[in-house]
A and B are shown apart, each in its own frame.
Chain A
């Protein structure tokens, strides 16, 4: 596609439920990133996939968070047993190379845990 697509755009879930957030990167982009943006805060790095290499999971805040990337394309971020502090906008980005313009972000999924 022309841009990074994220779904759903909004998600309201009850505390304790599991949620899955989806990201479709730009075709051909080898790198995919997940960030979390809380209200009025900056972007917090979560996880990074680069080609066939093992993902960099160093930013995941707890073992309730996990992500996978299938076939080097679509990625799913899963949050198990959601907590109210998980409420945030989850942003996905993809990139090819720095010289090609860096990251392209999707519009995000706004997650609200009630």
Chain B
């Protein structure tokens, strides 16, 4: 059973455009929703994260939109640049007692290509 479903599998965007990647989750106990960025040959790196008490979080050109009732969240990359070309993963987890982080459940990833 796939607990976090991510779409699209691949995405091509022109430089300056908006990239949008969507994720849906099933477990209502999830309370932490990060996005990771992965370049070839490297491990994923945390990009931005959100908790369900807010509907949107923005950091620079990256924005997470969160819809708790629909159990969906999305990543928007504004003014997309060729350097943003990478694979993006959404994820979800349940924060354990004491603030430690439980294991993340990842989506299958979206390969983003930004054309100059």
Contacts and interface: CB of A to CB of B under 8 A. Distances in A.
A113 to B, nearest CB: 20
Contacts of A41: 108-109
A41 B89 CA distance: 10
Interface string B32-43: 101010000111
Interface residues of B, number: 26
Interface of B: 6, 32, 34, 36, 41-46, 49, 89, 93, 95-96, 99-109
Contacts of A95: 100-101
A102 B96 contact: no
Given A107-B41, A107-B42, A108-B43, A56 B99 contact: no
A4 B44 CA distance: 12
B44 A105 contact: yes
Contact of A42 (B34, B96, B107): B107
Interface centre among B42, B43, B44 (most CB of A within 10 A): B43
Given A42-B89, A42-B109, A33 B42 contact: no
A43 interface: yes
A21 to B, nearest CB: 13
Contacts of B46: 101-104
Interface residues on A, range: 20 to 34
B96 A50 contact: yes
Given A43-B89, A93-B43, A107-B42, A102 B103 contact: no
Contacts of B100: 30-31, 50-51, 95-98
A26 to B, nearest CB: 13
A99 B99 CA distance: 8
11 contacts: A31-B100, A41-B108, A42-B107, A43-B89, A45-B104, A45-B105, A51-B100, A56-B103, A97-B99, A104-B46, A105-B36
Contacts of B106: 35, 42-43, 45
Contacts of A31: 100-101
Contacts of B96: 50
B32 A4 contact: no
Nearest to B31: A98
Interface in A61-99: 91, 93, 95-99
